[in-house]
Structure 1
């Protein structure tokens, strides 16, 4: 069993990782404010998602061949921006074991090496662990979108966090 501070193997995701990625994501959809999505992904939607986005930076954290978490870099909104957005999801079995930190650190490296100048994340204001993770790695809160999403029977705010990647 993993312990806090363990180093996980971080590698590029493959299509074979999709069942684990979808499982972690669907748990977050059903149980948390880590995503504003309120409907789990079906197998068909997951396959279409991979076909459309599989070439973007998608990483998994692996512990003895078990996917403990996953993360992605997405283009920010539209062409012309020199920034990306991060997504980080961790299997609840691996919460508080450093998986999210290791994945986000690797995304920061990937974003820098790709020449992006800024990385952002949209974090539900109720997602304290997501906000703490980003702030612990140098992200700063830059704004709040009030009543931006509706989930679990109520409106929620989204906090935007940002980090400059230029030295």
Structure 2
């Protein structure tokens, strides 16, 4: 369905709800049997009737987002405002909730519902979920209810959600997904029956797009089964945590010069590796896995302050979940928690990717690196004595590894 058609459709539903009719975008039977609309909520007696009548979702994202007092929340595709108003009660007067909707009629309906509810800590915005009209690092939690599946550019939606979240922020939405790719006939059947399947992602596609955006700790839990492989689902993820003014995101090709400069600075210390000269970007990227590459940046300037990557230890299938990692921090930014935040994000992303063992080698003299890794669950599993000459000196290498307690346990 085209963008303008979606706006027209939901504007008409808003007008119907405003006129006192209960709207059911996905078919009344699906709402009743599959948990769509108001059926997914526990207690709606605290909300205006108009907000309840305009409930068009496929779950209860407020319940899964674990909202806390004082947090700032953004609801993507807020409709008549039911999730905004429920969130406003959770975050309290010291918190703020934004509702974003592309339909002017829905925004107006939500504003009237908020006024009737006496909610003073909410604000409704007119705009698209592919271009959120808020600055970066603005909100603590992004929620949404059966809306992202309607977008024709879901990668942009998830990238925007990542951008506006503060480090450590949470993504918790209800959405419609498919267990596997549907052929056209099955998709049309599902669309005719529940109205919300068009454009829905498979579970793996959703995970991949969340990973590409930079999210970690990704969990997709199927809830109601609507037949033909179509499900309501709870989708949860986290933006990697790091200190104020900083951000962890996937490495980009445009980071090449800064990444290699930090690499060379680390090699120049004589304590990072047997290598003495950083490779070309082509050599760097060819030897590393295309995923599991992250940088820590200054959020204002975009300057790269550290990076972490992984290489496969073997092409043999039995070692599919074993990687060797490298982590480097700008020499002027060490002892600021950047390395710890980067490594923690990398571990979470690695477990999302099915990695059960992360390993590396550390010079025994590199006490800071050893301490960092041990603090995050790595252990020394052995020593390769006098394994190589470095600047004319024989060096020992400590072999370290971290075994996942989640993957392969």
1:15-58 deviation line (CA, Å, top 9, x unaligned): 110100100011111223112102343xxx22332255362321
Q: Does 1:61 find its partner at 2:299?
A: no
After TM superposition, the structure 1 = structure 2 runs for residues 49-128 of structure 1, keeping only pairs within 5 Å, are 49-51=284-286, 53=288, 55-63=290-298, 64=300, 65-79=302-316, 80-81=318-319, 82-128=321-367
What CA distance in whole angstroms lies between the structure 2 residues aligned with 1:14 and 1:54? 13
Separation (CA, whole Å) in 2 of partners of 1:76 and 1:53: 10
Matches of 1:38 and 1:73, distance apart in 2: 19
Q: Which runs of 5+ in 2 are unaligned?
A: 1-241
TM-score, with normalisation over the residues of structure 2? 0.37
Rg comparison, structure with higher value? 2
* Counterpart check, 1:160 vs 2:399: yes
Whether contact under 8 Å (1:89, 1:100) holds in the other structure is yes
Moved more, 69-78 or 90-99: 69-78
Q: 1:128 to 1:77 in 2, by over 3 A?
A: farther
Which 4+ runs in 1 deviate beyond 3 A?
51-54
Decide which structure has greater strand share.
1
Distance 1:107 1:36 in 2: 23
Per-residue Cα deviation, 1:122-166 (whole angstroms, up to 9, x for no partner):
111111111000001111110011112222221111111111113
Q: Normalising by the residue count of structure 1, what TM-score does the alignment of the two structures yield?
A: 0.87
Deviates more, 1:147-156 or 1:9-18: 147-156
Distance 1:141 1:57, change over 3 A: same
The aligned counterpart of 1:136 is 375
Kindly tell me the number of residue pairs found equivalent between the two proteins.
Answer: 160
Structure 1 residue runs without a partner (length 5+)? none
Residue 183 of structure 2: aligned partner:
none
RCO higher in structure (CA 8 A, sep ≥6): 1
Aligned CA-pair RMSD: 1.7
Kindly indicate whether the alpha-carbon contact (under 8 Å) linking 2:287 and 2:311 is maintained by their aligned counterparts in 1: no
Q: Which moved more, 1:25-34 or 1:100-109?
A: 25-34
